[in-house]
Chain A
Amino acid sequence: MFNRAQQRESHHLIAIIDDEQSVRSALVNLLHSAGYRTCSFASAEAFLASDRLHAATCAIMDVRLKAMSGLELKEHLAGLQIALPAIFISGHSSRAEQERVARLGAVAFLSKPIDADTLLNHIRRVTLAGEQP
């Protein structure tokens, strides 16, 4: 099943935005193993400034980032009319943040440490939806 999926889904690019290098590299490793292409950024600003903004199929972003937060990034993208599906991860999230994430129409809100299969399932769901006409 993975093998088929890998071959089939390998053209999707997943963006990873987290200020912790070890977290970024771990997520990159996980997505590669699932057959996705990845691009990773240490901050929201770096992502917004990159040329991958429109290439990405999905974005995994930490709620708390050093300058612009994950939620602000999502709102910013909405303002730019970029409907990039976003999966939020957070180490310590408040109820207010969760509600705000729900309003922003996020794909998922996952608490650190995440479950690898859950994350991959959400991504597959996003990528499959994107392939449907």
Chain B
Amino acid sequence: MNKPHVLALESTAIPPADEAELRFRITDYSYALISETGAVAYMRAWRSDAQSRPLTLARARSEAVAAQAAAQLKNEHALRTHLDDAWAIKPAGSVLGAGTMVLLYDDANILALEKLAPHALTIACFLKLAPQLVQVLACLHSTGLVHRNVNPACFFVGIDHTAGQEPNYRVKLGGFGLAVAVTPASGNADSVAALLCGDLPYMSPEHSGRTQGAIDARSDWYSLGVIFYRLLTGHLPFGVSGVDNDAAAWAHFHIASAPLAPHLLSNSVPEALSLLVMRLLEKNPARRYQNAAQLLADLEHCRHAAPAQAAGGDDAVMAPPDCTPMPAPPALQLERRYRDCADAPARSETASIRDLESVIRAARALSEELMLDELIQTILSLTLEYVGAERGLLIRLDEQIPYLEACARTTISGTTVDLLDVPAAEQDLPLAMLRQASDRGRLVYADVESDGFSAICVPMLKQGRVVGALYLENRVLPDAFTVEHTQILQLLASQAAISLENARLYAALLTENKQRTLAEKALRASQSSLVLGEQFNHIGSMRYLLEEGLMFCSAELCRIYGLAAGKDFVTYEEFSALLHPDDRKSVLETVEAAVAVGGTIRVEHRICRHNGEIRYISGIGKPFYVDGKFSEYVGTATDITSRRQAEDALRVAQADLARVSRATTVGQLTSSIAHEINQPLMSIVSNAGASLRWLDRDPIQLEHARAGLRDIVTEGQRAGDMIQSLQRLTRNTEPVFERVNLNAAIRHILAISRSEIERRAVSLSLSLTQENWYVMGDFVQIQQVLLNLVINAIEAMAEISTRPRVLSISTAGIGDHSIAVVIEDTGEGIAADAIARVFEAFYTTKKNGMGMGLAICRSIIENHRGRLQAAARQPYGSRFSFELPLTP
């Protein structure tokens, strides 16, 4: 509710031409809106040249209601003979167009009451104006017409100022579009619908058509009552601000709702005046004023009864009677002056309900605003306007520290709101007052007459907690705030607190959304780098859901597996089917064993794509815990086919090289081998010849023949073994890892090299212990190493003639885990600087050597998880040794 005003044309500016709502030049005139009633708009029109007098005209308020407006204006034009310039604005002429009608009036320098008095008037001002409103309406009624659409837009007021005297009001009635002659017999000729086109807040119960009585002059008095109510209180008797266009709701208000008496709503209204208004607003026309005379008499009575100061002059302002200011206290007593709202007198139940309604409506407006800045503006504008405050602050309490969120000021052009975010200081508002309000959680009212200072501080409560405060002050008009402001303000403040919280949450949500959008963008970017990375490295990633038995595959894994387009997962069965048949059992066993204990899966296997292509895959899977529950595996599968192919090629090359090397080594033993095979053959042929002869003897010598044949069998076996050993050394076979008895391997080698050793006059010193110890390895490869070392030893001693040529071979356990083989010779030895290089490929000191033998030996021993070493033997010769891990 705004503070009461006096009527003054000066304070109600007619919009200048360049700000006119409508401005067009059909007839060289510029237009500005004066008022709107029903379908009709009243406008000020003037020529651009300054000499001509301005006109007032009426036309349709919009294209949409052009026909309706034309009907109403025709009605007014037809009634023009009944109208008199003394009390009515009478059409001076008309312009009739296609479907449109414009009425012209001579009157100028007038404003509609609607524009002139948007707020409550002071009682003095009202008492001066009201009789004139009654009189002009009575003049109309005296012509036998009923207006039927009485509202503030129909009254046009001019104010004549004479120096030193009170201003003189000139009031005229207009807007006769719905006016008709009263014909009591016929009642309402017009349809209710047409009448409802008038201003709903001002229509009478009879306008609804739902009451017994017809519309007559008393209906106009009812409408005037609504106007009086508004002029006195600043409010309509029903509803909030009249923006609601629900005709049924308004009809209900007028027929059934009892308005609150003005003096209860605004304590500046004298009770007598209040009762006068209430009589005008009687639902039953028979209980209203029946004629103007009685009404005017009562108004006159009120005027005399009003306090002298109220009647004294237009400048007088009604002070809230019960807000008795305290004597101006010293500054130290400042806090004591802030009275709690609780001290304010109790208000009537009905007033609370009515205010509650307006609070609910304001609350709705607040709750509909989600943008924080706009909301703050709305809150401040609403409250400032509502209490007519001059300055307002919105304060946020953050950890009990007050921050100014916004500062609003009422200026001539309206309310301006500045958004701030600064700590509140004493110069902004009395902080003691804010403390008091926030500590008590109740409104604090201050009124310091000496400073011309009046302020309200309303705490904003959210769930019982003070989260901020509204501070409103008026330094121009002390006692600006009335008691009834306070409760509404408290309710508004609570709603504002909730709305502010909502708006802050909404702002946070927007920020979060923005961050999420950014995060999503970053995620998409990182996902595409992941996809690219997977493509470059041939690494696919997967998630395997245990319960569902589904493996979800990344794009690259789909490609590696060669899945059909659009399929991005495989079931356990499909995965099993993908596996190469030779690998399937071991992979599934590994996977199932790992899943059973939640262990890490590491497998290398082949897959067969649907097109039959075979790929080598290296897979790793780790258990992944979701909500502390082990429910899936995540991992990668790398396509290692090309790596594996390269490895295979290398292995083949190495195997070829090793085989060639073996063949070369064996070749060095040709004569020895020939000798070893010839001996049994020699024995066989001799025994065979003998046996034949024993059989030819007479008598036949069976015993001798049998003995010879027995030797043949033995020697044949011996030759066969020798051949087999040779074949194993030279045949191209895949290495087979098995349990190997090192001593047996050594004996095999000695079998084929024995005659060479003998031929070279080398004596052999064997020390083979640990007969039952085994290593894991390939028999042929281990023999190859032994053969190489033995032949090297023999050759190293070839030129030695001054000392015994001794080849010693020994085996010995090293702890429980390894076995060592040592091969020593008494040959030339290896130069100290050559020891480091003997295992290098192509390094040789032999005339015909390839330099590959020892290099291959070392790689073989390393493949067997062992070490091959060379050293000088004391006092001469060399010493080669290797260790291999034992196997049970």
Measured CB to CB, the residues of A under 8 A from B are: 2-3, 6, 20, 22-23, 25-27, 29-34, 64, 66, 89, 91-92, 112-117, 119-120
Contacts and interface: CB of A to CB of B under 8 A. Distances in A.
A29 B683 CA distance: 10
A33 B706 CA distance: 12
A92 B678 CA distance: 9
A3 B520 CA distance: 112
B678 A91 contact: yes
B673 to A, nearest CB: 10
Most buried by A among B675, B681, B693, B714: B693
Contacts of A120: 689
Nearest to B693: A33
Contacts of A23: 679, 682-683, 686
Interface stretch (B178-186, B339-347, B629-637, B696-704): B696-704
A120 B692 CA distance: 13
Contact of B684 (A26, A32, A89, A117): A26
Contacts of B671: 92
B726 interface: no
B687 interface: yes
Most buried by B among A2, A30, A31, A66: A30
Contacts of B684: 26, 113
Nearest to B681: A113
Contacts of B678: 91-92, 112-113
B676 to A, nearest CB: 9
18 contacts: A22-B683, A22-B714, A23-B683, A26-B682, A26-B686, A26-B715, A29-B704, A34-B693, A64-B759, A91-B674, A91-B682, A92-B678, A113-B681, A113-B684, A114-B686, A116-B685, A116-B690, A119-B689
Contact of B707 (A22, A27, A29): A29
Given A29-B704, A92-B674, A2 B696 contact: yes
A114 B708 contact: no
B691 interface: yes
B711 interface: yes
Interface of B: 671, 674-675, 678-694, 696-698, 701, 704, 707-708, 711, 714-715, 758-759
B688 A22 contact: no
A29 B703 CA distance: 12
B860 to A, nearest CB: 31
Nearest to B675: A91
A114 B707 contact: no
B698 A33 contact: no
B667 to A, nearest CB: 14
A22 B711 CA distance: 8
Contacts, number: 96
Contact of A20 (B679, B687, B704): B679
Given A3-B698, A22-B711, A92-B674, A30 B687 contact: yes
A114 B682 contact: yes
A81 B504 CA distance: 134
Contacts of A32: 690, 704
Nearest to A62: B682
Contacts of A34: 690, 693
B680 A22 contact: yes
B680 A66 contact: no
Contacts of B707: 29
Contacts of B688: 116
Contacts of B682: 20, 23, 26, 89, 91, 112-114
A30 B691 CA distance: 8
Contact of B687 (A3, A26, A89): A26
Nearest to B689: A116
Nearest to B677: A91
Contacts of B701: 33
A125 B759 CA distance: 33
A6 B685 CA distance: 20
Q: Kindly list the 3 A-B residue pairs having the minimum CB-CB distance in the complex, ordered from nearest.
A: A116-B689, A33-B693, A26-B686
Given A29-B686, A33-B691, A91-B679, 20 more contacts: A2-B696, A22-B711, A26-B682, A26-B715, A27-B686, A29-B690, A30-B690, A33-B692, A33-B694, A34-B693, A89-B682, A91-B674, A91-B675, A92-B674, A112-B682, A113-B684, A116-B685, A116-B688, A119-B689, A120-B689
Nearest to B679: A20
Nearest to B707: A29
A56 to B, nearest CB: 18
B711 A25 contact: yes
Contacts of B691: 29, 33
Contacts of A114: 682, 685-686
A27 B679 CA distance: 12
A26 B758 contact: no
A29 B675 CA distance: 21
Contacts of B681: 112-113
A90 to B, nearest CB: 9
B686 A30 contact: yes
Most buried by A among B680, B689, B694, B704: B689
